[in-house]
Each structure stands twice: as structure tokens, then as C-alpha cells.
Structure 1
Amino acid sequence: MTTDSSLLNSELELQQQEELYQQLLLQTVGKMQTENPDSKVIRPQPGMCVKTLAEPGKQKVFVNICQSNSVPLPPELSREELVELLQSEDPSGYRVPMSLGEPHTEIDNNSQGCTAYDVVVNQEFFQKCQTDPLFQQFVILVSLEGLENKYNLELSRDWKVLKNRKFLGSVSEQNIRTKGRPVIQELQPQDSFTATAQRPEFTLLVEPPAGDPEYLIAEIKLPGVPSSRSLVLDVGEDRLVLTARPSLFYLDIFHPFLADQKNSVAQYNSSTQILTVTMPVVSP
């Protein structure tokens, strides 16, 4: 599939079409990973999946607690110290370094939509939590508290650890800071821009629906974006990053396919305010 500028919104002038294509110029994942020298991209290992509810509407929430040695190890804590900590009036005095990912929509075993969050902790600390039920409860508790503080949530403490599932969805890479942060603080996966931008609604479609996939199509809703000139899109082999300025939307997702970056095309429809990205799938 070759790039065809006529696929871009017909309402745009020829000059605007060329400008849009330049703004949507596809880049490699490697370049995206080196833009910030004070952070790095990690792909955590699955750990355990915790099911709980978000109050007050009782919406189903899944927390994927993952593990990576790129996250700092928390201060040494004995079982006796943990018991005293949990019994104290202020157990928040002990901080566990963790990376809190953005919420993502998934499908549960009942084919119902649900929200999932990814939390990454140090691998050695996670393994310790796996061998002691008290430490396991502790890492779940601090993960829920971290998500509540960051996303203004209220999560039920009546949780359930899924026995036959370590992760809901697919394991996504995360950006974590490598400099300038005390280890007791949360490792922020986003910069100041993405902290103020919203995550847009999107769908990923595979064509054809059955058999070997030929195309992966992303449809991204961008209400309030008047034209394509405010969009910047980066497409990697398995990653898509979209920025809609000024500070409107930010999307950073990984997908399970290998995309042909050079022959991918993008089209923004200013009437429906939907961006469509068509990516040919490379056969393994």
C-alpha cells in the first residue's frame, strides 16, 4: 500500500494536505524512546491481576501488578516491621517506588467492557510479596492507594487475586524516569504536557476480521479538534503515539501486531472529528 495524499480530508487545500502529511510523518519507535535522556522505556513482566470495584458506581476494575528491575528496590522491610507499619496510624510513611500507567479499556471473561490499570514495582520486591501473603496484601494495598491518589478514585478493599491470569489485556511498555527523582517517589510515566491532556476514545480494528490480518486500523475520536494541523502522530512497529495540541489529547498505546511504518497512512475527518490510521500488518 502506497501513501496517497488524496486520502486526506478533501476539505483541506493542497498545501494543508502536505502540511498534514508532514505532521503525521511516521517515525520509528527508537527515535521516540530517545527523545528524553532522563527516562527510558521498559517492558515489565506480568505479575498478578487483581479484580476490584470502583466506588460509588461499582464499576469493575482490574489492576495489573507487574514487575521490573528497572524500578528501584524499596527500603528493606522485615515482616515484623511490616506488621508494625500496618498497625500504625500512618502506614504511608513507607513508600514503595512504582510506575502507574494510564487506564485502558479491556474486555473481561463475560465479554463486558472494563477498566484496567498497570502498576510496575521492583521485581525482587514483587517476588518477596509472592512468598508471603502479608507482603502480597501490602503491595496490593499500596497499588490501590497509588491509583486512588493519582486518578482521584475510590477503590474497594474487597479485592480478589485472579488465580489463572497474571495480566488482563496485553503487556505495554512504560516510560520511567531514570534521573532527578528520589526513589521513594512515584516514577512518573508522563511529562507535564501529557499530565494535562486527556486520553481520547479509540478503537482498533483488524482487516479482515477472520484469517491472517492484513491491516490494523485505529479510529481515534478527537472532539474539539478543528483541523489536522494541530495533530502530531508517531507510528512505530508496535506503537502509536498521538498528540493533539494545545494540551487537548495524548494517546500512547502498544498493539500486538508488527506494522509496516513506511506504508501506513492517516486521514483526519474534520466533520466527524475522527482520525483514522491504517497500518499494513507485516507477516511474522
Structure 2
Amino acid sequence: MALKTDASLLSAEVQEEDTLYEQLLLQAEKEMRSKFPTPQESKQIRPQPGFCVKTRTKSNEKVFVNVCKSDQIPPPPDLSEEDLVTLLESEDPSGYRIPMSLGEPHAEVDNSGNGCTAYDLVINSKFYNKIQNNKIFMEFFMIIGFEGLENKYNLELSREWRMLKNRRFLGSITEQNIRTKSKPVIQELKSSTVSPARCSESLVSEIESTCLEPEYRIMAEPPDEHPSFLVAEVSLPEVDSARSLLLDLGEDRIVLWARPDLYHLDIYIPYNIIPEESGSQFNKNSRVLTITMPVQPA
């Protein structure tokens, strides 16, 4: 006996499945948009190095904070020193807010060869200049910055800190994505003790890239004083020839591309070099790029 197919029933089932599929797609799209900002809601910034601060956690672990600057971070309201003192003495100073971007922690090695953790904290360039020239604003900013890191990463940091000499940052500073709409990350004052409110969401999001950051090391010669030159060794195991490499040296920066979309390295270096006197050599056997960079006198 032959079976007859009810075409109208099949059509109804297909329509029902299509409707369910569309609903699932819309739900998935909503979830993705809530987790990841669209390109119109975010932009990529390249922070510039400022200064590096050393402190410790309550468990006596070393922590370094790279205070960076960017014109892409909005400035806080302009205040005079007298206005700031008046604000701090008021009962509710929470009306003054400082926009800042709190970067993810990255493991580094200090001058003694010991492991430590570094954080990148980015503020507006003009506000950066202001704290550099005013001790009260500097102390005020460091308290807010430390408490912002504590709230976001569940830390307990000592309020005793020291700005490093001859070192503008520790490790490498990476590009960051910041929101241009919705909730900006703002550290705000909570009480007369200059305590910011907890941040519910960060301005920083992980940057996705098809390129890998290669392993590298930078050596100073001589190692125990202001060096005469730096030597960077970059491991590029997938590179066959120097012809696929594009190297750009700035006074305090190394940018390297290995085409096509193999590796990308963009790091700042702790000394000002002389780019026009620098040189590089790629070893085909070891697949290591060596970059020799004379350092400007102290």
C-alpha cells in the first residue's frame, strides 16, 4: 500500500521550524550584542606610555601600574586645586568623575628576574599633564586608580607607591577597545575618604586578532647601568624568509609584521633608541630575528 504525503501538513511543519529557527537566531544575536559591542559602539585606541608606579599587594606581591595617556579617553571636568580641596571636604563629592580605562593584568619580570603583575591604566592626555604638574591631583588620581583596580580585579593594594625613574612602563602596552556608547567606565568618588564606587562594567574589552604575538626577549648592554644598546631577539618559527617581514622602529617602540598575517609585535621599549643607527638580521636556521638598537645617552 502506497503512503500518501499530506503536503499541507509538511508545509505547516516547515513554517513552524522556520519560525523557531528565526527566533533562536534573534535570541543569539541579542546575547552577542549584549556581550560584545558593535563596531559603532566601540573603537580601538593605542595608549601612549606615561610613567610606571611600583606598589605591593597585601600579601607582599609586587605590582606595577603603567599609567598611560590617550586623547581618545574623555577628560574629567576641569577643576582648580582650590575646587578639588573644597570638593574633597564636602559631604558628597561623588559628582566629580574621572574616566579611565583599566587594562587586563599581564605577567612580567622585574629587574631582579622575579615574576610580577602589571596593569595598564589609561587616562586623558590633558588630565595626565595636569597630574604631572600638580602633586595634589597626582595623589588624588593614584588613590582613585588603585581603588579602581581593586574593585575590578578583587585586589588589596598598598597605598605606598613609588614612581620608577628612567622607566615609563613595564612590559608592553597593547591596543585597547573602548566603548563609545552605553556604559563608560568611570571611577567616581564615594565619600570624603576619596573612595570610588565600584565599577559595574569595564571600558576595556579583549582585542581579537588573527595574528599571533611572537615570543621575544630584550637584553641591555651593559645590564646594570644605562645601556649603550639594546638587543631584541624575536622568535618567528613560521617565517621562512626576511622578505616576509616588515619592521618599523621608533624612538621607544618596535613594530613588526610577519606576512601574510602570521605574527604581529607592537611593543614599547624602556629606553629611547637611535632608529637610523639600528639594524636587524634574520637567521633562517633558528628563525630568530635579531634587532640591535643603540640607546640615546642618558
What is the deviation of 1:256?
5.5
Unaligned runs of 5+ in 1: 1-33, 195-202, 218-236, 239-254, 265-279
Q: Decide whether the 8 Å contact of 1:257 with 1:281 is kept in 2.
A: no
Mark the CA change 1:90 to 1:48 in structure 2 (over 3 Å): closer, same or farther.
farther
- Once the two structures are superposed, residues 175-206 of structure 1 have per-residue CA deviations (whole angstroms, 9 ceiling, x without a partner) of 11112235846761128xx9xxxxxxxx9635
Conserved? CA contact 1:206–1:216, under 8 Å: no
> Deviation per CA, 1:239-278, whole angstroms, max 9, x where unpaired?
xxxxxxxxxxxxxxxx9642334567xxxxxxxxxxxxxx
Taking structure 2 as the reference length, the TM-score comes to: 0.55
Q: Which residue is 1:190 aligned to?
A: 205
8 Å CA contact retained: 1:101, 1:189 = yes
Partners of 1:168 and 1:118 in 2: CA distance: 9
- 1:65 paired to 2:67: yes
Q: Does 1:37 align with 2:58?
A: no
Which residue in the other structure is 1:205 paired with?
215
Match of 1:98 in 2: 100
Deviation at 1:214, TM superposition (A): 5.2
1:142 & 1:180 partners in 2: Cα distance? Answer: 22
SS in 2 for 1:116: strand
Deviation at residue 84 of structure 1 after TM alignment: 2.7
Partners of 1:117 and 1:127 in 2: CA distance? 20
> Matched residues in 2 for 1:47 and 1:102: separation?
17
AA aligned opposite 1:132: N
* Secondary structure at the counterpart of residue 37 of structure 1: helix
Aligned mates of 2:100, 2:233 — CA distance in 1: 38
Which deviations, in whole Å up to 9, do the C-alpha atoms of 1:147-173 show, x marking residues without a partner?
Answer: 011111111001111121111111211
Change (3 A) 1:103 1:91: farther
Answer yes or no: is 1:215 the counterpart of 2:236.
yes
Amino acid at match of 1:64: N
The amino acid of 1:205's aligned partner reads: E
Q: Which amino acid aligns with 1:215?
A: L
State TM-score, norm by structure 1.
Answer: 0.57
Matches within 5 A, 1:166-185: 166-181=168-183, 184=186
Give 5+ residue unaligned stretches, structure 2.
1-36, 188-198, 220-230, 239-245, 248-253, 264-286, 292-298
Report if aligned partners of 2:215, 2:235 keep a CA contact under 8 Å in 1.
no
The answer as to whether partners of 1:260 and 1:282 remain within 8 angstroms in 2 is: no
CA distance in 1, matches of 2:164, 2:204: 26
1:139 Cα deviation (Å)?
1.5
Amino acid of the structure 1 residue aligned with 2:204: P
Which one-letter code corresponds to 1:73 in the other structure? P
Seq. identity, %: 51
Q: Residue 170 of structure 2 aligns to a residue in which SS? A: coil
Q: Which residue identity does 1:188 align to in structure 2? A: L
Match of 1:277 in 2: none
Q: Aligned partners of 2:259 and 2:289: how far apart in 1?
A: 6
- Aligned-partner Cα distance in 2 for 1:170–1:258: 16
State the superposition RMSD in angstroms: 3.6
- Find 2:113's aligned residue among 111, 114, 125: 111
- Shift of residue 80, structure 1, vs aligned partner: 1.1
Structure 2 CA distance, aligned partners of 1:73 and 1:116? 24
Alignment counterpart, residue 77 of structure 2, candidates 75, 78, 99: 75
